[in-house]
């Protein structure tokens, strides 16, 4: 604090030079300890498609097994012995070889496993159980 005399007495004034020096030193310290390269997760940004027309999405294949053992492929009822051939024909035309299996709550595991095995034999790469 600096004091100087005026006509009416002593007046106290704050000396700003040490405060500015302190401010500059703190600024330099914060710049040095701040990270130079921010770290984060890599993000994949969606790119525009190369073709103007994108292919229509394929419908999902859902095998529903009823309590009586009947099987539906999406909405169409299909016999168990025809299921493998039908799925093989579908998989020849599709890129996505995923099958969703929905079984009734009172089915035995063996009944559901048999349908899963038929789907895998027909060419299904992924079999998902849905509720």
Query: Strand 61-65 vs strand 71-73: parallel, antiparallel, or unpaired?
Result: antiparallel
Query: Strand 98-103 vs strand 61-65: parallel, antiparallel, or unpaired?
Result: parallel
CB 84 within 8 A of CB 122: yes
Burial of 84 (0-12, 13-18, 19+ CB in 10 A): middle
Candidates 63, 59, 74; CA nearest to 113 is 63
Residue with structure tokens 């020096």?
21
Q: pLDDT tens digits, residue range 62-110?
A: 999 999 989 999 889 999 889 999 999 998 988 888 999 999 888 888 9
Candidates 70, 79, 82, 80; CA nearest to 107 is 70
**What predicted TM-score, i.e. pTM, was given to this entire model?**
0.56
Backbone φ and ψ for 13, nearest 5 degrees, come out as -130, 145
Give percent of the chain above pLDDT 70.
Answer: 87
Over 60: is that where the pLDDT of 1 sits? no
DSSP state of 5: E
Distance CA 112, CA 104 (A): 9
Q: What is the pLDDT of residue 88?
A: 92
Q: pLDDT tens digits, residue range 21-59?
A: 999 999 999 988 887 776 777 777 888 776 656 566 678
User: pLDDT-based confidence at 5, cuts 50/70/90?
Assistant: low
Q: What is the pLDDT of residue 34?
A: 83
């Amino acid at each position: 604090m600096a004091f100087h005399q005026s006509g009416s007495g002593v007046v106290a004034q704050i000396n700003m030079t040490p405060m500015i020096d302190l401010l500059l030193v703190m600024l330099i310290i914060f710049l040095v300890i701040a990270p130079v390269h921010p770290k984060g997760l890599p993000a994949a940004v969606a790119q525009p498609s190369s073709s103007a027309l994108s292919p229509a999405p394929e419908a999902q294949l859902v095998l529903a097994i009823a309590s009586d053992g009947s099987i539906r492929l999406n909405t169409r009822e299909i016999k168990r012995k025809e299921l493998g051939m039908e799925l093989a024909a579908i998989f020849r035309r599709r890129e996505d070889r995923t099958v969703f299996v929905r079984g009734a709550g009172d089915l035995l595991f063996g009944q559901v496993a048999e349908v899963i095995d038929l789907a895998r034999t027909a060419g299904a790469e992924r079999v998902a159980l849905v509720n």
